[in-house]
Amino acid sequence: DIVMTQAPLSSPVTLGQPASISCRSSQSLVHSDGNTYLSWLQQRPGQPPRLLIYKISNRFSGVPDRFSGSGAGTDFTLRISRVEAEDVGVYYCMQTTQFPLTFGGGTKVEIK
């Protein structure tokens, strides 16, 4: 199984300031078709996870452009350019390059 490791566990951020979350995979997420299937999901309190980013850097429909993803191979980053109150929650990276699909342990974004 591919193990996904996120850092930090918690990220206190001032409103309007940027936030950054790291995700590392135990092996390359490059698929045999040449694409890399790394997604980011947001889970607000009491809600199901919601897709933000897929294939490293593609924003899903309706996702604000303050969210961006980058990376390659085994190292990936989610950035929020200016944190808003509605961004509070837990963020997970997820790989869909191979079965079993696996998730990172999560990073909690909270307001200072």
Partner 1 sequence: QLQLQESGPGLVKPSETLSLTCTVSGGSISGDSYYWGWIRQPPGKGPEWIGSFYYGESTSYNPSLKSRVTISADTSKNQFSLKLSSVTAADTAVYYCARHDRGYSGRYSVLSSDYWGQGTLVTVSS
If one asks whether residue 51 binds partner 1 (CB under 8 A), the answer comes out as yes
Residue 32 CB, nearest approach to partner 1 (Å): 5
Nearest to 19 by CA among 78, 99, 61, 96: 78
> Binding to partner 1 by residue 67, rule CB under 8 A?
no
Contacting partner 1 (CB under 8 A), which of 13, 23, 29, 49?
49
Residue 109 DSSP class: E
- Residue 24 engages partner 1 in binding (rule: CB under 8 A): no
Shortest separation between residue 96's beta carbon and partner 1, angstroms:
4
Cα–Cα dist 81/22, whole Å:
15
Residue number, 17 or 30, with CB nearest to partner 1: 30
